Amino acid sequence: MPGNSFGHTFRITTFGESHGTAIGVVIDGCPAGLEFDLDFVQHELDRRRPGQSAIVTQRQETDRVELLSGVFEGKTTGMPLALLIRNEDAKSNDYSHIADKYRPSHADFTYQAKYGHRDYRGGGRSSARETAARVAAGAIAKLFLKKNGISVTAWVSRVGDVTLDKTHEQLDFSQIEATPVRCPDLAVAEQMEALIRQVRKEGDTIGGIVSCVVQGCPPGLGEPVFDRLHADLGKAILSINACKGFEIGSGFAGVTMRGSQHNDPFFTDENGVVRTRTNHSGGVQGGISNGMDITFRVAFKPVATIVQAQESVNEAGESVQVEGKGRHDPCVLPRAVPIVEAMAALVLADHFLRNKMAIIRIEGLKD
């Protein structure tokens, strides 16, 4: 079983390497009749693309996306949607010096160990460039979710020690894109940006946390017992480059709470909708969405490429020194925001369709 597909009913397959001809994605299972919006796909790619601001990698890729199939007269046909992005600014020479060396905490060694033959240029397939395909597919998932009243919003809530201590209800989402760092609290964003600039000056990198909320999700998404909604969200998010942790609702902080504090009491609101007073569950109970906001947080480690000499070995196992050249991000967080949103949107679209089976379970049986 190869691993380049994700999802069951809304299913994507990605391809392409950092310095190859192109990257792209095939989306199979997108419902027919959806108004397609290539500009929106491009807009999402622009949020992820390199060179967009002073605090990200200066590789210049316009990430111009081309649609190859699946749309007729402006609407999806239910057939596979293929999207293509050609690589433009691939400076492969930047990487010849590490052709036979393993950069610490990169995938060079593990790919070599697994496949015995690898495209070392820019990390090849292991490069975060692959996530452009995810963002393109995620944009289409977002179009589908929007039609069904569901939105996915992420932001940077921590860079190193600089933390945004607010719940999503306290934030103004319109400010997320106001700064290159994608933290909606502008004062905190300024501190984060300063830290990133300083770290870059030192030839170093820094990690952080992305927070995300899914709003408008109806109850019922998630398939017991293994394909719980938050388990699939966790897998989706953990498959993003540099991600080291995932927590939903109360997460790791919840381990010190008592059940009497943590339990979310039910009530019926003024519209007759069953809701919970608190939301420590993060919108998922028993692996199924309960109609409340779905909230999760994601830990990203510092980027592995640093401009400092590091101890390592080469393919012969001999001791060598490795120093990062290549263009890279001092902090992955700002560009991780659209990627987190994309992966979450893909999970939600997939489970939205899977849940239709359950509705059939109830209503679809004729007597």
- Is 170 strand, coil or helix? helix
Torsion angle of alpha carbons 231, 212, 244, 18, nearest 10°? 100
Binding segment (CB under 8 A) for a copy of itself, from list 40-48, 54-62, 183-191, 356-364: 356-364
Smallest separation (angstroms) from a copy of itself to the CB of 24: 6
- 8 Å CB contact between 293 and 168: yes
Interface with a copy of itself in residues 14-73 (CB under 8 A):
14-17, 20-24, 26, 28-29, 31-34, 66-70, 72-73
- From the CB of 180, what's the least distance to a copy of itself, in Å? 19
50, 138, 234, 326: residue in contact with a copy of itself (rule CB under 8 A) = 234
Per CB under 8 A, the segment of 41-49, 54-62, 178-186, 252-260 that binds a copy of itself is: 252-260
Stretch that binds a copy of itself, among 52-60, 164-172, 186-194, 241-249 (CB under 8 A): 241-249
Residues 6+ apart with CB under 8 A from 268: 274, 275
Nearer to a copy of itself, 172 or 361 (CB): 361
Give the nearest distance from C-beta 351 to a copy of itself in angstroms: 10
Interface mask toward a copy of itself for 173-192; x: CB under 8 A? --------------------
- Number of residues interacting with a copy of itself: please give it, by CB under 8 A: 160
User: How far, rounded to the nearest angstrom, does the alpha carbon of residue 252 sit from its chain's CA centroid?
Assistant: 21
- Taking the least distance from each CB to a copy of itself, the nearer of 46 and 227 is 227
> Using alpha carbons only, what angle is made at residue 365 by residues 361 and 367, rounded to the nearest 5 degrees?
150
Q: Which of 39, 43, 60, 79 contacts a copy of itself by CB under 8 A?
A: 79
Give the SS3 label for residue 203.
coil
- The CA angle 212-250-211, to the nearest 5 degrees, is 15
CB of 336 to a copy of itself, least distance (A): 12
CB hemisphere CA count around 345 (13 angstroms):
30
66 vs 89, beta carbon nearer a copy of itself:
66
Which of the ranges 37-45, 47-55, 119-127, 168-176 carries the binding residues for a copy of itself, by CB under 8 A?
A: 119-127
> Cβ of residue 305: shortest distance to a copy of itself, in angstroms?
7
Residue 271 contacts a copy of itself per CB under 8 A: no
Q: What is the distance between the alpha carbons of residues 182 and 246, in angstroms, rounded to a whole number? A: 19
165 binds a copy of itself (CB under 8 A): no
Among 141, 285, 295, 334, binds a copy of itself (CB under 8 A): 285
* Closest separation in Å from C-beta 176 to a copy of itself: 19
CA distance 175 to 302: 25
The least distance separating a copy of itself from the CB of residue 46, rounded to whole angstroms, comes to 22
Residue 55 CB: number of other CB atoms within 10 A? 21
Q: Which residues pair with 153 in a beta bridge?
A: 213
- Which neighbouring-strand residues pair with 152? 214
Distance, CA of 240 to CA of 218 (rounded, Å):
26
Closest C-alpha among 146, 152, 208 to residue 335? 208
Choose, by CB under 8 A, the member of 313, 323, 325, 327 that binds a copy of itself: 313
Handedness of CA 167, 168, 172, 174 (dihedral sign): positive
Peptide bond into 225 cis (omega under 30): yes
- 322-351 footprint of a copy of itself as x/- string (CB under 8 A): ------------------------------
The residue (of 174 and 209) whose beta carbon lies closer to a copy of itself is: 209
Q: For the purposes of burial, counting CB atoms within 10 Å of the CB of 187, is it exposed (0-12), middle (13-18) or buried (19 or more)?
A: exposed
Within 8 A by CB and 6+ apart from 73, the residues are none
Binding of a copy of itself at residue 302 (CB under 8 A)?
yes
290 binds a copy of itself (CB under 8 A): yes
In Å, how far are 19, 22, 45, 81, 160 from 140, measured between CA atoms? 25, 20, 12, 9, 32
Instruction: Pick one of 304, 336, 348, 349: the residue that binds a copy of itself (CB under 8 A).
Output: 304
Tell me which residues in 194-223 interact with a copy of itself (CB under 8 A): 199, 202, 204-209, 219-220, 222-223
